[in-house]
Amino acid sequence: MRITMIGSGYVGLVSGACFADFGHDVVCVDKDAAKIDALLAGKMPIYEPGLDHLVSSNVAAGRLRFTTDLTEGVRGADAVFIAVGTPSRRGDGHADLSYVYAAAQEIAGALDGFTVIVDKSTVPVGTGDEVERIIREANPDADFAVVSNPEFLREGAAIDDFKRPDRIVIGGDDPRALEVMRQVYRPLHINRSPIVEMSRRGAELTKYAANAFLAVKITFINEIADLCEKVGADVQDVARGIGLDNRIGAKFLHAGPGYGGSCFPKDTLALLKTSQDYDAPQRIVEAVVGVNDNRKRAMGRKVIAACGGDVRGKTVAVLGLTFKPNTDDMRDSPAIAVIQTLQDAGASVRAYDPEGMEQAKLVLDGVAYCANAYEAMEGADALAIVTEWDAFRALDLGRVKSLLSAPILVDLRNIYPRDVVEKAGFAYHAVGR
């Protein structure tokens, strides 16, 4: 198959490289010439484990190309994926579809022969209809069909998620288009990943419903964690106790400082906007958004409470800044609210993150960024673990104690056993335990 990716950002690049790895002939297009030049030189614009190797090996094999020339990229393609950004529009929270529509407009002029246009970007219900209308209007003779094929990639595990998905969702009703999509995903289907075919609107909504449900699950266990602290129970026991029920499932039941990232916050808001437009309130998701927003600053107050209720003039060491491990992504990271809450209360913050410090510097002022975890602890009055990078899971507690001026450990990701930390002489504060 000849596949074109419009947009060489996170989703486009990972998907394009994986499709090439399956043996398809892939062209990744991006308007950003600097990004394309960097990719041609083997430099990745994002941090994603395994991606540089996947890209370079497929470029070397001649299956993966990069270009800024959309027309050249689209000509002769069997499937053209639209994988451009859909940020929250400033002001109203609606997904900003201008990049999607601009891509549709440009693709229209370059079509030759039957082509499947695939909406890969996370787009509100009805976007596929509009993409179809734009292309039809711009090029009335074009032979094409628009399908929706949402992605479910997690940052940090995107390649594995792409190659071994729980399911592939394809929305559309044109038989020729569905056949092309089956060919595109055939290598995965052989791995037993089910292909779920449905209407285009159904597929568009599935993506939002999946992310919203996961956000509900996380927020639910976070509130149960708060109750656990009050009643003297351990949320990890409760999560295991409920998660082993197959109807509930064990995943996404880790209590913590609240969800962040590029998807859950944006997609839950976009779903709420759609629900308003169609007058079908999503009250559960509405509550989840509010609870999660409040939680991030509440976690800052938790650190302050662990320090005796007053951090004026004190220093807090913060380990982990990104919204989760194995990414450099700071978007809506709980660490931002935690650190700002500490700073507002008069604390100084020394921080370390294995990959996120460059991004963090763009959003957090007044933080002393350190070269490693132990340097961040030097002279600090407490240590807070905000993101569960593996490198923080086996800290030398003796050394930590000698570096801190007070042995206080606030573990917002529950990665330490209480007894071990307390035996090492720390006051230990976790989430829901």
- Measured from the CB atom, the residue of 291 and 347 that comes closer to ligand UDX is 291
Alpha helices in 43-112 (DSSP H): 51-60, 70-74, 98-110
Would you say 154 is a known binding-site residue?
yes
Alpha-carbon span 93 to 97, nearest angstrom:
12
User: How near is the Cβ of 257 to ligand UDX at its closest, in Å?
Assistant: 7
Contact between 342 and 311 under an 8 Å Cβ cutoff? The reply is yes
Reported for 221-224, long-range contacts at CB under 8 A and 24+ positions apart, including other chains, are 221/252, 221/253, 221/254, 221/255, 221/432, 222/255, 222/256, 222/258, 222/291, 222/292, 222/295, 222/431, 222/432, 223/291, 224/255, 224/432
CB of 420 to ligand UDX, least distance (A): 22
Task: Show the site string, 260-289: x = touches ligand UDX by CB under 6 A, - = not.
Answer: xx-xx-------------------------
Please count the helices (runs of H) and the strands (runs of E) in the chain: 17, 14
Among 324, 350, 429, 433, binds ligand UDX (CB under 6 A): 324
208 touching ligand UDX, by CB under 6 A: no
- The angle formed by the CA atoms of residues 99, 103 and 106, to the nearest 5 degrees, is 140
Q: At what angle do helices 98-110 and 127-138 cross, to 10 degrees?
A: 40
Binding residue (CB under 6 A) for ligand UDX from 114, 252, 369, 374: 252
* Nearer CB in complex with ligand UDX: 99/426: 99
Residue that has been written with the tokens 């957090």 in this structure = 364
AA letter at 2? R
92: Cβ–Cβ under 8 A, 6 or more apart, which residues? 273
Place of tokens 């400082």: 257
Catalytic residue among 18, 228, 263, 307: 263
Looking at the DSSP bridge assignments, the partners of residue 427 are 408
How far apart are alpha carbons 36 and 43 in whole angstroms?
9
- How far apart CA 214 and CA 236 sit, in angstroms, is 18
DSSP 8-state assignment for residue 88: B
Examine the residue annotation and report whether 307 is marked as an active-site residue of this protein. no
CB of 252 to ligand UDX, least distance (A): 4
Tell whether 136 is in a known binding site.
no
Residues in region 152-171 near ligand UDX by CB under 6 A: 152-155
Q: Which is nearer to ligand UDX, 12 or 73 (CB)?
A: 12
Q: Which is nearer to ligand UDX, 252 or 374 (CB)?
A: 252
Residue 66 vs 81, nearer CB to ligand UDX: 81
Per CB under 6 A, 415 contacts ligand UDX: no
Q: Which is nearer to ligand UDX, 63 or 324 (CB)?
A: 324
Q: Are 181 and 170 in contact (CB under 8 A)?
A: yes
Residue 164 C-beta: closest distance to ligand UDX, Å: 13
Q: Is 35 marked as binding a ligand? A: yes
Query: Which amino acid is residue 56, in one-letter code?
Result: S
Say whether 252 counts as a known binding-site residue. yes
Count other Cβ atoms within 10 Å, centred on residue 126: 15
Interface map 125-154 toward ligand UDX (x if CB under 6 A): --------------------------xxxx
Question: Rule CB under 6 A: is residue 211 a binding residue for ligand UDX?
Answer: yes
x-or-dash string of contact with ligand UDX, 215-244, rule CB under 6 A: ---x--------------------------
CB atoms closer than 10 angstroms to residue 237: 12
* 3-class secondary structure, 26: strand
Q: Which residues are annotated as a binding site?
A: 30, 35, 86, 122, 152-155, 207, 252-256, 260, 266, 324, 331
Q: Contact residues for ligand UDX (CB under 6 A)?
A: 151-155, 211, 214, 218, 252-254, 256, 259-261, 263-264, 323-324
Active site residues: 263
Q: Which residues are annotated as a binding site for substrate?
A: 152-155, 207, 252-256, 260, 324
